[in-house]
Structure 1
Amino acid sequence: MKTVILIPARYASTRYPGKPLAALRQADGSSKTLIQMSWEAAQAIAGVAAVHVVTDDDRIKQAAEGFGASVLMTSPDAENGTARCAEAAAHVDADLIVNFQGDAPLTPPWFVEDLIAAMAQDASADMATPVLQCDAGTYAMFAEDRRNGRVGGTTAVFGADYRALYFSKEIVPYIDPGKVPATDIPVYHHVGVYAYRPAALEAYTRWPVSELETLEGLEQLRFLVNGAAVRCVEVQARGRVFWELNNPEDIARIEKVLATQ
């Protein structure tokens, strides 16, 4: 199964303009941009035919080419990362397209490798995405963001067959604050990586924007609303800390992790 990774990156983010070019301090005291770190993380994934940064912004294009990345330019009209990947997918030869988020440089390679393997084994899945059970530290970061009115990570709810039921920027399922268990917290952090079959990605561009997608600001809900089979793949942290860069406050969180690696 020929797999191609696309890293959608846009400059004009509403919550964090210029996010792909944000600099993060590394363990050795140097700095790298978020897009470079994401590209390097994607390069570590086994079994991939190619990795491309996908953008409509010349500043991101120049930065990416400066550290050796392949860049595919897309229209500025792309409404989100999935739409940008769908546009770029027309220019690549692949059986599976992986949307590797440009704001998740802490994504371990095995998260994506497990995702690719699950799609190879489950022919009924139109797309798949990883989920990671929250430990106490991650759950605390979710709760802190909500208390402070910040939109942080996303949570996922799925059935016994691992088919996705819902994704939300709220903490779902709700747990009474006084009853949050110390271990085995039944909340799953949605890892913002997607593997699509080309037909599902093409269909996405034909479906209208759904109300749930608009309310939550989550593009993957369009697949659920239209009956696509979305497979959640539970992955293991193996001692690694995972968090995305959603807000400027997340830079310190990620730099703290980088200092220990």
Structure 2
Amino acid sequence: MSVVCIIPARYASSRYPGKPLAVLRGATGETQSLIERSWRAAMAVDGFDAVYVATDDERIAEAAERFGGRVLMTSETCANGTERCAEALSQIGGGVEMVVNLQGDAPLTPAWFLEDLIAGLRAAPDAAVATPVLRCDGETLNALKADRLAGRVGGTTAVFDTAHHALYFSKEVIPFTAGAYPADAETPVFHHVGVYAYRPEALSAYPGLAAGRLEQMEGLEQLRFLEHGHAVLCVEVAARGRQFWELNNPEDVPRIEAMLAQMNMP
């Protein structure tokens, strides 16, 4: 039984067309595409038996093959990354214990986020899906709030119950918090890290579930599981001094490049 990582990537993003091929400069001045940096993040994880890029675009496929990635071609009709992972899984076949979806816009994802995620789902037999959450410090929370005030989606937040089962995910900043926090202060807000671990049967069933009202309103694929009554486990992960941000908008490129430089990542 294997643990497979799939990185879904599409060219036709409404907010940022061509995003997987966006170039990011690291601390040494070396440039790599977003999809390559995401693939390298996956390759650093202890526990993956295989890593694939799943795409419907030949430009992304060619770029992935140039840096040594294994590619699975999927259809243009996939509504989101989870549907693309489900189609990719059907090509891989059986013998898979778990599928990890590392979305291709999170190149700063530390390896231990994914390793903790795998361990978390293994330890929770009642959960069909698991996803990491990271407690925001004041700097991150203030950045999320600033993005929303500017009309940008700067990230997704999550709330969960005492058993760490998700109650809701939103592109708004939830729960409500008044005022600003010092940059290094802990806050009650959790940043959802855009990674998922699925049991194969849950992933295979996902495309057959109707997209619900909340999924369509928020544009968050994980809400389909919640709307159909499937438990989603939130696995709390620790930053350990690493900064984390997803590339959601073109304005995020300099922010991520600054983080790469600050953390001395090539």
Task: State the TM-score, normalized to the length of structure 2.
Answer: 0.96
- What stretches of structure 1 of length at least 5 have no aligned partner? none
Deviations 1:207-244 (A, max 9, x none): 11100000000000000000101000000000000000
Deviation at 1:121, TM superposition (A): 1.2
Say which SS state the counterpart of residue 187 (structure 2) adopts: coil
Structure 1 residue ranges, 4+ long, deviating more than 4 angstroms after superposition: none
- What stretches of structure 2 of length at least 5 have no aligned partner? none
Q: Which deviates more from structure 2 when the two are superposed, residues 201-210 or residues 165-174?
A: 201-210
| 2:17 counterpart of 1:9 | no
Q: What RMSD, in angstroms, separates the aligned Cα atoms of the two structures?
A: 1.0
- Aligned partner of 2:113 in structure 1 is 111
- Aligned partner of 2:29 in structure 1 is 29
State which of 156, 163, 166 in structure 2 corresponds to 1:164: 166
- Aligned partner of 2:216 in structure 1 is 214
Is the CA contact (8 Å cut-off) linking 2:139 and 2:182 kept in structure 1?
no
Counterpart mapping for 1:103-182 below 5 A: 103-177=105-179, 180=181
Q: Which amino acid aligns with 1:224?
A: L
- Aligned partner of 1:45 in structure 2 is 45
Task: State the TM-score, normalized to the length of structure 1.
Answer: 0.98
- Aligned mates of 1:163, 1:175 — CA distance in 2: 21
Deviation at 1:184, TM superposition (A): 2.3
Deviations 1:130-163 (A, max 9, x none): 0000011111110110110001100000000000
- Aligned partner of 1:233 in structure 2 is 235
Deviation at 1:53, TM superposition (A): 0.3
Q: Give me the identity figure in percent.
A: 60
| 2:255 counterpart of 1:253 | yes
- Aligned mates of 2:130, 2:77 — CA distance in 1: 25
Deviation at 1:181, TM superposition (A): 6.8
Deviations 1:73-96 (A, max 9, x none): 000110100000000011224110
Q: Which amino acid aligns with 2:38?
A: S
Q: How many residues align?
A: 260
- Aligned partner of 2:59 in structure 1 is 59
